[in-house]
Amino acid sequence: MLQVSLRQQEGPSKHIAQAAVAGTSGGAARTIRRFLDVSVALTALILLAPLMTMLAILVALDGGPVLFRHPRIGKGGRPFGCLKFRTMIDDAEAAFSEYLSYHPPAGPEWDSERTVSFDPRVTAIGRWLRATSLDELPQLFNVLRGEMSLVGPRAGSAAEAPLPGEPASACPSVLPGLTGPWQVGDRGQPDERSLREWGFLRDIALLARATIVVVRRKGVS
């Protein structure tokens, strides 16, 4: 009886201890992930500085701004400006409306796919930047500012429906990622682990696969 009583008393204490350890582990994981985000982003910015400078000069040749801030939804539903190299001409929406008026067949394509075979808004350098995903390099600054992580769910706009595998209720609870399963072709794969848990090897694998995607010029915009 005494032995049973002791076990019964130890049970709740054991669960409390396990919960405390889990909480500490979760906090430690977030700290480590943040440290890696900052370290990798800072290192990448230093190494890529010559390339990014050259790209900035090419983008600025038409007289427009170098960077574009796209309104996106971040952790906790907080909006932030997702940085990209500008890939469109000035007054892009007016130019696109004029294009659609002269090319009626493009209207249904835009309405159904939200894209067109030829987008007159995109500059020549912009098409190349999008094809190589290099337009997203400025998002490394978003990572440094704590608005994004290296790996995570896709940062969506307020009006954009979540991609398959990215539950609307779960995505805002974590930082959006510079890359993730959505960029390496795993659009149909559940993304619960990258949303709720952190795995060092999983993040490294996704970053490696994303690098291969960019090198092969098969980036997902």
Question: pLDDT tens-digit profile of 1-24?
Answer: 444 443 444 444 444 334 333 444
Per-domain boundaries in the chain: 32-87+124-221, 89-121
**pLDDT of res. 217:** 63
pTM: 0.71
Helix, strand, or coil here: 219?
coil
Q: What share of the chain is helix, strand, coil (3-state, %, to 5)?
A: 55, 10, 35
**pLDDT of res. 104:** 77
Residues 6+ apart with CB under 8 A from 55: 85, 125, 129, 134, 137
**pLDDT of res. 198:** 62
- pLDDT for residue 44 is more than 70: yes
String of DSSP letters for 161-219: PPPTT--TTTGGGS--EEE-TTTTT-TTS--HHHHH---HHHHHHHHHHHHHHHHTT--
**pLDDT of res. 109:** 73
Tokens matching residue 49: 């500085």
Helix, strand, or coil here: 5?
helix
Average pLDDT over the chain, rounded to whole? 75
**pLDDT of 47-79, one tens digit each?**
999 999 999 999 999 888 999 998 998 887 888
**pLDDT of res. 8:** 43
**pLDDT of res. 167:** 52
Cβ atoms of 123 and 81 within 8 Å: the answer is: no
| pLDDT top residue among 199 and 135 | 135
Binned at pLDDT 50, 70 and 90, residue 25 comes out as low
Q: Return the H-helix or E-strand segment holding 176.
A: none
Helix, strand, or coil here: 95?
helix
Binned at pLDDT 50, 70 and 90, residue 32 comes out as confident
Q: Could you say which DSSP state residue 163 is in?
A: P
- pLDDT for residue 212 is more than 70: yes
